[in-house]
Amino acid sequence: DVKVTQSSRYLVKRTGEKVFLECVQDMDHENMFWYRQDPGLGLRLIYFSYDVKMKEKGDIPEGYSVSREKKERFSLILESASTNQTSMYLCASITSGAYTDTQYFGPGTRLTVL
Amino acid sequence: RKEVEQDPGPFNVPEGATVAFNCTYSNSASQSFFWYRQDCRKEPKLLMSVYSSGNEDGRFTAQLNRASQYISLLIRDSKLSDSATYLCVVRSGGFKTIFGAGTRLFVKA
């Protein structure tokens, strides 16, 4: 079974803090994603990575950056957390990206910024 | 207009009922379609892919109508454990995957 893990289930930070969210997958998937999920809006793509050190902006990259130094690990960084970044953050991975492939999600990190 | 639209519900149905959800998508070039299930405060998990010819998995049936650009999910003989949010997912080119906001289902005893 594919396993995607995230460093924290719940996180509380203060405005202006730098926040690191980590994601690790154990299935040697090339492609990894960071989404945020908010009520009524569905999942929105922040960034994705198709290879080590490669990244692409998603639909809502502002205020975020990412790092992929190793194939299995994809980190999301909030440079200066703000209250509007309070959300559920979900990491996902997928193998080749063929149309029929499905994404596997981590358990999510519920971040609250005070 | 959202690229993928779902009725947010909630749908409240008794055990044993049949319930159907629809999802419409705007990009006619969309290539693949999925239904995911998400339990409260958990991550989305794949329920089933949706094929052009329609497909069935036990009590669940998924249909695709390309002409009208919608997909559907039918759940027969609802169980309490079917209570969840059902996400419609549409993929077009490459990694562009659009998630619907989800339809909430409550199955009551």
A-contacting residues of B 56-85, CB under 8 Å? none
Contact B99 A105 (CB under 8 A): no
Task: For tokens 């892919």, name the residue.
Answer: B49
Cis peptide before B44 (omega within 30 of 0): no
Question: What pLDDT does A103 receive?
Answer: 85
Contact A108 B100 (CB under 8 A): no
How far does the CA of residue B14 sit from the closest CA of chain A (Å)?
25
Q: Which residues contact A38 (CB under 8 A, 6 or more apart)?
A: A44, A87, A88
Question: What pLDDT does B101 receive?
Answer: 93
pLDDT tens, residue by residue, B36-47 = 999 998 999 999
How far does the CA of residue B77 sit from the closest CA of chain A (Å)?
27
Task: For tokens 């959300």, name the residue.
Answer: A87
* Helix or strand holding residue A64 (H, E): strand A64-70
Mean pLDDT over residues A43-59, rounded?
92
pLDDT tens, residue by residue, A56-85 = 999 999 999 999 999 999 999 999 999 999
